[in-house]
């Protein structure tokens, strides 16, 4: 991967181009949460289940739809269509989150657990974003190992669809929180060091990190607070 010239102009200062990408990324990330929340609310209201009786087929279909969105976003990332497709993807992800949210909200302290997961996600986000802005060196070498970790998570999730081992599920959830927290650090650092110059692609990467941190924190809280 080609690395652009360093863009740290002085301690704690970004070059104008990278500062603009970072600012636009955070703005679009905030906007992307609106269709996510709406999709989650709609899914809860409609009791959206997405082939709940066939988890393996549902998981494979979900991956197919998600990668279809990734391809479309990548192809249109230099136009307004990229923003529109990204927001459509975040709505879809909100729908997919609704079943987990509904399950947690049905617990006695469900609202508190959702708020705790949201607060924990925000804390991790600000911690990783702050760390990324203070690290002076490029972290692109982490990318290969983190993506290997994501692939192993997917394989483990597929296996546990058939095995249904609670301890394995708990392990997957904890590892996912750690891996996507590290990916959040990596993705913000890529913007700061000039490795990512398109704010739509940057938003997609950071959105996926935040989404997975929140959903796995919520799953962990729900798992440890239910029978």
What are the tens digits of pLDDT across the range 29-77? 999 999 999 999 999 999 988 777 788 999 999 999 999 999 999 999 9
Q: Is residue 88 part of a domain?
A: yes
Contacts of 112 (CB under 8 A, 6+ apart): none
Find out whether 170 and 220 touch, Cβ atoms under 8 Å: yes
Q: Is residue 69 part of a domain?
A: yes
Domain count along the chain: 1
Average pLDDT, integer, range 208-212 = 97
* CA quadruple 168, 170, 172, 178: dihedral sign: negative
Whether pLDDT at 8 is above 70: no
Q: Is residue 3 part of a domain?
A: no
Q: Is residue 8 part of a domain?
A: no
What are the tens digits of pLDDT across the range 138-193? 888 888 999 999 999 999 999 999 988 999 999 999 999 999 999 999 999 999 98
Q: Is residue 166 part of a domain?
A: yes
pLDDT at 227: 62
Q: Is residue 183 part of a domain?
A: yes
What are the tens digits of pLDDT across the range 97-124? 999 999 999 998 999 999 999 999 999 9
Q: Is residue 85 part of a domain?
A: yes
Whether pLDDT at 9 is above 60: no
Whether pLDDT at 219 is above 50: yes
Domain span including residue 43: 14-224
**List of long-range contacts for 215-219, beta carbons under 8 Å, 24+ apart:** 215/97, 215/100, 216/173, 216/174, 216/176, 216/177, 216/180, 217/116, 217/117, 217/120, 217/121, 217/177, 218/100, 218/101, 218/104, 218/113, 218/114, 218/117, 219/100, 219/173
Q: Is residue 89 part of a domain?
A: yes
């Amino acid at each position: 991967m080609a690395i652009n010239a360093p863009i740290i102009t002085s301690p704690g200062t970004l070059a104008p181009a990278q500062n603009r990408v970072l600012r636009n990324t955070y703005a679009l990330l905030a906007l992307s949460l609106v269709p996510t929340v709406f999709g989650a609310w709609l899914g809860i209201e409609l009791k959206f289940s997405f082939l709940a009786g066939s988890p393996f087929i549902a998981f494979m279909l979900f991956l197919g739809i998600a990668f279809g969105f990734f391809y479309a976003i990548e192809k249109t990332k230099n136009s307004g269509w990229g923003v529109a497709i990204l927001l459509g993807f975040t709505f879809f992800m909100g729908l997919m989150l609704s079943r987990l949210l509904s399950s947690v909200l049905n617990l006695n302290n469900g609202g508190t657990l959702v708020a705790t997961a949201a607060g924990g996600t925000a804390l991790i986000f600000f911690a990783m974003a702050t760390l990324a802005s203070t690290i002076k060196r490029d972290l692109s070498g982490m990318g290969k190992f983190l993506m290997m970790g994501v692939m192993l998570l997917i394989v483990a999730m597929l296996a546990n669809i058939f095995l249904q081992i609670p301890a394995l599920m708990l392990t997957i959830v904890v590892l996912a929180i750690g891996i996507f927290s590290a990916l959040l650090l990596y993705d913000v650092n890529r913007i700061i060091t000039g490795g990512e110059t398109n704010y739509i692609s940057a938003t997609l990467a950071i959105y996926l990190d935040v989404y997975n941190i929140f959903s796995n924190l919520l799953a962990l809280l729900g798992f440890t607070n239910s029978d």
